[in-house]
Amino acid sequence: MINTELIEIVLPAFVTGLLCTALHVPLGIEVLKRGIVFIDLATAQVAGVAIVALNVWVMEPSWAGVQVAAFGAAAAFAFLFRWVEKIMPAEQEAVIGSCFIVAASVTLLLLANNPHGGEELEHVLSGQILFTSWSDIAAFLPVYLLVAGLWLGYPNLRSGQGFFLLFALAITASVQLLGVYVVFASLILPALSGRRADGSYNLSRALLSGGAAVIAGILVSTVADLPAGPFLVLCFAVSAIVVRVISYWTSRPTSRSDLRQA
């Protein structure tokens, strides 16, 4: 007999994971092309700091207030990262990485005297995807549709400041649903699985890798009663490795004629 309670838990988690991954894959590919991998962690952590700070300093902040604070912080750093990209591109990755570690340290300091600091920190880092509700999805769906619409409808926004702002908007929503670690994993690992030998990227392969990781991660973590966030990160890594290995072996020359053509 199918456990209806289990289905009610798993279905929103599936939709959340697949929706976020579908949006993150093209963003992650663009991040790899730009060579600014740490921007994922930094932007997610900065948004997380804003959320934690608001919850520490304001008693029961409104949902709208949290979104404004989180996106405001992420957008401010988006402008910073774009400025660094133009002024001192050689130091961009170092600056972004430094912003991440500073933001992470500020989070720890904000939660140092909080009796529920451990739970808050775990939520920021690992997320609580299995506790996602349909109302959570409905609340953030317009954000994802806006980012996807602008990304597909206005390709020029993928360059310059537009990319950083779209990235900040997407990450602001995702970090609240998935946590910093899963956001990073869903951005980078599927994108890596789609990288070809010539340096280009296969979007379909990357989406397949990310989708398989989400399905396996949520199913196994639910059945085995494992923390969903860390297990999802592991699944993203395993899926990316498997896809890359399969892609490598299937693309190898299989005959002398193939070798001559290669």
CATH number at residue 171: 1.10.3470.10
- Is 262 a domain residue? no
For residue 258, being part of any structural domain is answered with no
Copy the structure tokens of residue 87: 């002024």
Confirm whether 149 is domain-assigned: yes
Domain membership of residue 260 (yes or no) is: no
Query: In terms of residues, how long is the chain?
Result: 262
Give the residues across from 201 on adjacent strands. Answer: 195
Rounded-to-integer distance, Cα 55 and Cα 183, Å: 21
Which pLDDT tens digit goes with each residue over 61-79? Answer: 888 888 899 999 999 999 9
Give pTM, 2 decimals.
0.85
Residue type, 80: L
Count: domains in the chain = 1
Q: Please report whether residue 113 resides in a domain.
A: yes
How does pLDDT run across 96-143, given as a tens digit for each residue? 999 999 999 998 898 888 777 777 777 788 888 988 999 999 999 999
Confidence (pLDDT) at 262 = 44
DSSP letters for 118-158: HHHHHHHHH--GGG--HHHHHHHHHHHHHHHHHHHH-GGGG
The verdict on residue 69 lying in a domain is yes
- Give residue 192's domain range: 4-247
Q: Examine the pLDDT at 193 and tell me if it is beyond 60.
A: yes
Among left, alpha and beta (phi > 0; psi -120 to 50; other), residue 58 is: beta
**Would residue 255 count as lying in a domain?**
no
